[in-house]
A = this chain, B = another copy of it.
């Protein structure tokens, strides 16, 4: 099992290639939420999302000889862009399988970083099938989006930085899609800070998995949060079961309100997936009142031409 030392090693490995992102606060949001919220701005991370942490950690952990045919993955966008950028840093090709319905800005970002886009149908099964074809054709090494020790350790560096930037946090909370970030932050916290996940009601597989103790695999997500559509990874679930305080659910309406608050008072362009954490804090006010909570704004690759609150 991986642990805090893996996250600390990842932090050293990614340092030359990733930002230590800033932490922002808003007096008005704190008043509205009834607690103090510290927003770790990973939408300002390289390639516009925390996903650069895991992707850089994975790509730089391998020997270059092992990567001569490049890397491949499937992604709804941010992991794909992050992997394309990381591959570019090592001057190897990248092959990114993306569902047709993916946010156009995320697809453009993958191409911008030199990734080869391969589109597929929108189901998780179609993604996996297409990726396996690509892997066999190209000989590229697969870098999974979340169910992987190097990815988990890499994402955990966001939590490690946040605990240094705000040393006396009561809690940390992050969005849950495949669970890479949540698992990584749990390892980083190492039981010194309680860690919550936040998830859309309409993509609640992680919540149900934690409640039942069995990883939910059948899943028909229907949420604005295009970064949170996947089901929980196996390794991720083991870490989350052992270390997550809870996984809180929020409605789509709560997500939209929280996203607008972040836009309006932090002046930060975050995507809907990033807003679930503030939505969860506000929806579970009694749990957090008076506390200091660190949250991760996970990505800024929002299609601002098509806003939920216009």
Q: Would you call A263 and B267 a contact (CB within 8 A)?
A: no
Q: Is A61 part of the binding interface, using a Cβ–Cβ cutoff of 8 Å?
A: no
Report the Cα distance A222→B175, complex, angstroms: 44
The chain B residue sitting closest to A262, CB to CB, is B269
The chain B residue sitting closest to A108, CB to CB, is B264
Bits for A15-49, please: 1 = Cβ < 8 Å to B, else 0: 00000001010001000000000000001100010
Contact of A268 among B112, B268, B310 (CB under 8 A): B268
Q: Which of A263, A264, A305 has the most CB of B within 10 A?
A: A264
Report the Cα distance A270→B304, complex, angstroms: 13
A9 cross-chain contacts in B, Cβ below 8 A: none
Q: Is A253 part of the binding interface, using a Cβ–Cβ cutoff of 8 Å?
A: no
Q: Is A93 part of the binding interface, using a Cβ–Cβ cutoff of 8 Å?
A: no
Q: Is A178 part of the binding interface, using a Cβ–Cβ cutoff of 8 Å?
A: no
Bits for A100-142, please: 1 = Cβ < 8 Å to B, else 0: 0000010000001000000000000000000000000000000
Known: A22-B22, A310-B310. A43 touches B305 (CB 8 A): no
Bits for A194-206, please: 1 = Cβ < 8 Å to B, else 0: 0000000000000
- Chain B: minimal CB distance from A71 (Å): 21
Q: Would you call A305 and B300 a contact (CB within 8 A)?
A: no
- Chain B: minimal CB distance from A249 (Å): 27
Report the Cα distance A307→B263, complex, angstroms: 14
A28 cross-chain contacts in B, Cβ below 8 A: 112
Q: Would you call B300 and A310 a contact (CB within 8 A)?
A: no
Bits for A252-286, please: 1 = Cβ < 8 Å to B, else 0: 00000000000110011110000000000000000
Bits for A284-305, please: 1 = Cβ < 8 Å to B, else 0: 0000000000000000100011
The chain B residue sitting closest to A305, CB to CB, is B310
- Chain B: minimal CB distance from A204 (Å): 28
Q: Would you call A44 and B267 a contact (CB within 8 A)?
A: yes
Report the Cα distance A83→B267, complex, angstroms: 20
Residues of A within 8 A of B (CB): 22, 24, 28, 43-44, 48, 105, 112, 263-264, 267-270, 300, 304-305, 307, 309-310
What are 19 A-B pairs with beta-carbon distances under 8 A? A22-B22, A24-B44, A28-B112, A43-B267, A44-B267, A48-B267, A105-B264, A263-B269, A264-B304, A267-B268, A267-B269, A267-B270, A268-B268, A269-B269, A304-B307, A304-B310, A305-B307, A305-B309, A310-B310
